[in-house]
Structure 1
Amino acid sequence: MTELSWIDWTVMLTTLFTIVAYGVWKTRGSKNIESYLLGDKASNWWTIGLSVMATQASAITFLSTPGQAYMEGMGFVQFYFGLPLAMIIISAVFIPLYYRLKVYTAYEFLESRFDNKTRALTAILFLIQRGLAAGITIYAPAIILSQIVGWSLNFTILFIGILVIIYTVSGGTKAVSQTHKQQMGIIFLGMFIAFGMLISFIGDSVNFGQSLDIAGAMGKLNIIDTEFNPESKYNIWSGLIGGLFLQLSYFGTDQSQVQRYLSGSSVKESRLGLMFNGLLKIPMQFFILFVGVMVFVFYQFTTPPIHFNEANIAKIQQSEYAEEFNQLESNYNQLIETKKQAQLDFVAAKENGETVIIEAQKTTINQLQAKADAMREESKALILKVDENAETKDDDYIFITFVINYLPIGVIGLLLAVIFSAAMSSTSSELNALGSTATVDMYKRNFKKEGSDTHYLKASKLLTGLFGVFAILFATLASLFENLIEAVNILGSLFYGTILGVFLVAFFFKYIKGNATFISAVISQILIGVLFYLNRSGIYEIGYLWYNLIGPALVILFGFLFQIALPNKKDGDPMHNNSSAQ
């Protein structure tokens, strides 16, 4: 793999330090808790929209998503099909209510609707889920970037974590929103440059239309799966239904997103910000997936590594299996050359309209691809012989390997800045939200009810910093999931369903009171945990997106049952103690 030049180091570090310095300078001197947590409620719609997008678009998005498209095609985009409808529902129902109640966090509303224990439960579920997710958000890019830039894993984790803590603790929500604008600008610039150069490289062998023909023939452009199959991770039904409930919970009840639009200067600005996200998120995700598909096409005419994680290759080259691996790699490279010619023959047949030959060549290239995939699996088996604990899933290394090996000096530094910026943008939102929730929903409500504004400002900064330290520590102890972006989405799906269920009961089922809601939420969370265990154990298979539908359904169902069983309980009357919900 190509070593970074001083130009790449300069571009990367200058970009990152400039963003941090700008965030600290622009937002210096927060005087009170409202300024720190809500940014003086002065954000306009496009700042909100970019901040919402930056919060969701972590480094995992730019490392894992292209690799997922490379291996499985464009089907992952269905995950986001429920998002536009979720934005409409949140704009119509959630935002006006949050503004009317003048809350700092989403969970304050739950005390005014139910009671403090229900508010505390949802806040704790959020703190657990988002606290762990913050660690993964740092760890995911760090484990890959550490190999690319030659730093130790722990130093890379510290580098990302400390930079984020500096400006997030210093400036709060306003710093997060300001830096998000710069980070999203760098991200879009870098990805468009990478895509343009990728198309140029492919153009040496085939034109753009022919590259689409190749991707389509190999099943990489199969975007929509209409089969209703609960075991399938991604189909149009899981995306529209499970995805809708996941996005409702994430954008409507997750403080890392709620805090982004609560900083808006008005309900209108917040709504426009979410609509902006609803319109651009699917095209953005489609584009990132499409980059991965084009990397796949690029490697049809340029020999790819048999394994993309160079750390694993280095281990096997120093072992007794080196000769066996080298022979396998040589056979793999010969197969790639054969496949390259088959691709050219397919393109020629396509241009000439020779239907019979097209189908024959299509079959041939897919058979050759299957043989290449089998050889890749053999290489992974050899790696496991050397180190049985090695992580052989190398999807997350595919895009960064292309960047380092084929993009020119300077652009490599820019793309590395893209990945670091994405890690920082999502982590800053998470730490900001964790500090806010811990301060407002736990510390201020339950431990120090009569503190001064200055006291709560200091407490919020302290708690934000502590969660940053926790995220760094968790990141140093984490291990890779099969796919990093799935790891975050699975973790969210485990908790979001229950949290969303509580909010849906609060909004739409006035009959159900506090005690019934609390008990049903606890039972629902336990059952989702059991379902996840059964799924991971292979006892019962179901796509994780469905947890986001099952969770709310259980909360609502059990809520009715427990309320019927406790008809005379006078708890949790709507808006019974709004004044205490602080």
Structure 2
Amino acid sequence: MEVIDWIVLTGTLAFIVGFGYWRTRGSKNVNDYILGGKDAQWWTIGLSVMATQASAITFLSTPGQAFHDGMGFVQFYFGLPLAMIIICMVFIPIYHRLKVYTAYEFLENRFDLKTRSLAAILFLMQRGLAAGITIYAPSIILSAVLGWELKTLNVIIGILVIIYTVAGGTKAVSVTQKQQMFVIMVGMFTAFYLVMSYLPDDVDFGKALKVAGANDKLNILDFSLDTKSRYTFWSGITGGLFLALAYFGTDQSQVQRYLSGRSIRESQLGLIFNGLLKVPMQFFILLVGVMVFVFYQYNHSPINFNPAAQDAITSSEFNADYERLKSEHLKLEEEKRIAQDHFTAVLDVKDYDLTVAAKERIRELNQADRMLRAEARTLIEKADESIETNDKDYVFIHFILNNIPTGLIGLLLAVIFSAAMSSTASELNALGTITTMDLYKRNRKSEGDETHYLKASKWFTFLWGIIAILFANFGSLVDNLIQLVNIIGSIFYGNVLGIFLIAFFIKFVRGNAVFIAALITQLMVVLTYYYAIHIHGPGEEKLGYLWLNFIGCALVIVIAVLLETSFRTGKRIKTGA
């Protein structure tokens, strides 16, 4: 990185932190700190909701996901627009009518304190882990690529977020997220423009799409009923729907964004705004990844994008075998360039048989390339088992650092940091709020004044910031970071969503039945995840993780209804009724 990149990066981050601190310091009471004075307008809510979900993982992992697997991941979001409508019709009116600080206050009104506390604890468990991941994700990648010390990066990101989040609460999060979303979208459109400009002169956007299609990267819809597939149309509108309902309807990091709305209408418009733009935004980010793939069909790419893998293999006994694979990879790249050129030339001729033959040749070369990369991963694992061999999360950052002009590198790194800060700030804000209002205040024997709980909220937010940094420092990469966050959510969200759906719609079920059902369900979901997903290798899972959302939701509802029926039957028998 050059001096100008450092200036752009540090200047952008300093402005966001400084402006957020200056605009929102000095909250006078808990309402100001937690709900931002309830004066947010719909566009602020919509942008804040989008920024909360759009973590650094989104902008690091999603292009890499598209590079390797194509556009199919967008199906994950198909249930989101419908979820926004349901939340606007059911959740938001109830939350506003009850004038709650957190979603879980409603559960005590409907059931009892222990059910409220259990739901709050489940949230703290999964969101506390996720907060560490949203810090760790950009840190480990930037550390590997730039040579920075991992723990130092974790601390830097964590402290930057803590400064303005502790000082200004919800309003600070909302104010800074508008700026962060602006930086993020400018950066992504810049990346798209640049990658298109780097393609050969005879490859315009239309031909680039056809090249991507010939390489099976534009297979957006999968209508198969195979539950093993992670991303299908059906898992998107079922598991994805339940995940979105749980995340946007019961996760305090999102609920707190629209509880700050000045009216029900403003909150509803904010969520509809998010529902309309989220799928196109994710589609565009995936498209950037696909265009990066097309770029590497005409330009050299490493056999593994993780630079730490290259360092590990170089100093091992397997280096000679790895160098052989790299040589074969270089030869294969030249063949792929010739095949791609031939394909684009055939497109101009518009001969069907020649086009089919050219596509088949490309698929053969891609299969050979996948086999070489798989062999390389095997050698890397033998050289050092601690090195992450799945390089999806390194694809986009490699492209940025090796192809983007000076100055714009700083901007795109600012995108990654901004996304990390925006999602982490929402998480810390929510974690501090839940700890204060659902656990500390509700279980405190003596009542404190507004100032006491305002200070408590700040201290708990600060504490969760430190915990998130610690989680980040003990994290480790798995198959794909964006999948890891969604897997963690899927393990907990379905259960919590089921509790809320019982509270809304199944009026005869009481607190004891729900509490016991939630404990049983959480154990069953964890066991299902372990035996059907975790112990199997990537692509060999017995169940796509999105189905955990539906399973958890259905289980807690069925078990709670059965338990309540059993309790009532037993009571009638006992009383002789």
Q: TM-score, normalised by structure 1?
A: 0.96
Residue 147 of structure 1 is matched in structure 2 by 144
Residue 302 (structure 1) aligned with residue 299 (structure 2): yes
Which of the residues 522, 525, 531 maps onto 1:525?
A: 522
Separation in 1 of the partners of 2:348 and 2:309? Answer: 41
Given that 1:205 and 1:301 are in contact with CA atoms closer than 8 Å, whether structure 2 keeps it comes out as no
Residue 556 of structure 2: aligned partner:
555
SS of residue matched to 1:202:
coil
Letter in 1 for 2:183: I
Instruction: Select the residue among 329, 348, 358 that pairs with 2:355.
Output: 358
- Which residue does the alignment assign to 2:157? 160
- 465, 470, 475: which one aligns with 2:467: 470
For 1:509 and 1:462, the matched residues in 2 are separated by 38
How do 1:323-334 residues align onto structure 2 when only pairs under 5 Å count? 323-334=320-331
Which has the larger displacement, 240-249 or 327-336?
327-336
- Corresponding residue of 2:392: 395
Change (3 A) 1:471 1:9: same
> Counterpart of 2:16?
19
Please say which of residues 7-16 and 326-335 is displaced more in the overlay: 326-335
Q: Is the 8 A contact 2:145 2:307 kept in 1?
A: no
Question: Aligned partner of 1:157: which letter?
Answer: N
Q: Does the 8 Å contact 1:435/1:467 carry over to 2?
A: yes
5 Å-filtered alignment, 1:255-294, equals 255-294=252-291
Q: Is the 8 Å Cα contact of residues 238 and 545 (structure 1) preserved in structure 2? A: yes
Structure 2: distance between partners of 1:522 and 1:381: 40
Q: Bigger CA drift: 203-212 or 398-407?
A: 203-212
Quote the Cα distance in structure 1 between the aligned partners of 2:34 and 2:344: 57
In 1, Cα distance between equivalents of 2:451 and 2:569: 43
**Alpha-carbon distance in 1 for matches of 2:304, 2:549:** 35
* 1:119-163 deviation line (CA, Å, top 9, x unaligned): 000000000010011011111110001123331000000010010
Aligned to 1:44: 41
TM-score (norm: length of structure 2):
0.97
Task: Tell me the equivalent position of 2:454.
Answer: 457
Give the Cα–Cα distance (whole angstroms) in 2 for the partners of residues 148 and 264 of structure 1.
41
CA distance in 2, matches of 1:551, 1:93: 20
The 1-side partners of 2:555 and 2:121 are apart by 19
Residue type matched to 1:106 in 2?
A: A
Residues 176-220 of structure 1 show CA distances to partners (whole Å, capped at 9, x for unaligned) of 000000000000000001100111111435121111111111110
**Distance (Å, rounded) in 2 between the aligned partners of 1:526 and 1:322:** 45
Whether contact under 8 Å (1:343, 1:365) holds in the other structure is yes
Distance 2:35 2:340 in 1: 55
Map Cα deviations across residues 46-73 of structure 1 (whole Å, 9 max, x no partner).
Answer: 0000000000000000000000000000
Q: Aligned partners of 2:525, 2:321: CA distance in 1, in Å? A: 45
Q: Sort the Cα spacing of 1:569 and 1:17 in 2 relative to 1 into closer, same or farther, 3 A.
A: farther
Corresponding position of 1:541: 542
Q: For 1:299-326, what per-residue CA distance to the aligned partner results, in whole angstroms no more than 9, with x for missing partners?
A: 0000111110112102222333333322
- Three-state SS of the structure 2 residue aligned to 1:128 is helix
Would the aligned equivalents of 2:306 and 2:388 in 1 still touch at CA under 8 Å?
Answer: no
Counterpart Cα distance in 1 of 2:322 and 2:556: 53
Q: Which amino acid aligns with 2:535?
A: S
Separation in structure 1 between the aligned mates of residue 241 and residue 382 of structure 2, nearest angstrom:
43
Give the match's secondary structure for 1:333: helix
- Alignment of 1:496 onto 2:493: yes
- Equivalent-residue separation in structure 2 for 1:569 and 1:53 (angstroms): 48
Q: Aligned partners of 1:238, 1:418: CA distance in 2, in Å?
A: 30
Q: What is the distance in 1 between the residues matched to 2:321 and 2:214?
A: 33
Per the alignment, residue 33 of structure 1 pairs with 30
Residue 218 (structure 2) aligns with: 221
Using the alignment, how far apart are the partners of 1:149 and 1:427 within structure 2?
22
Stretches of structure 1 lacking an aligned partner (at least 5 in a row): 571-582
Give yes or no for contact 2:228–2:541 (8 Å, CA) kept in 1.
no
- The code of the aligned residue for 1:479 comes to S
Percent identity reads: 60
Shift of 1:227: 1.1
Partners of 1:107 and 1:441 within 8 A in 2: yes
Q: Describe the SS at the equivalent of 1:43.
A: coil
In 2, Cα distance between equivalents of 1:447 and 1:33? 16
Are positions 1:376 and 2:373 aligned together?
A: yes
Structure-1 residue corresponding to 2:100: 103
Residue 83 (1) aligns with residue 80 (2): yes
Match of 2:338 in 1: 341
**For 1:90, what is the secondary structure of its paired residue?**
helix
Task: Tell me if structure 1 keeps the 8 A contact 2:70–2:216.
Answer: yes
Count how many residue pairs are aligned between Structure 1 and Structure 2: 567
Aligned counterpart, 1:189: 186
What is the CA–CA distance in structure 2 between the aligned matches of 1:48 and 1:86, rounded to whole Å?
Answer: 16
How far 1:448 moved relative to its partner?
A: 4.6
**Cα distance between partner residues in 2 of 1:325 and 1:554:** 49
CA–CA distance in 2 between the matches of 1:203 and 1:428?
42
Q: Does 1:445 align with 2:442?
A: yes
Q: Could you tell me how far 1:447 is from its partner in structure 2?
A: 2.1
Question: Structure 1: which 4+ aligned runs deviate by more than 4 Å?
Answer: none
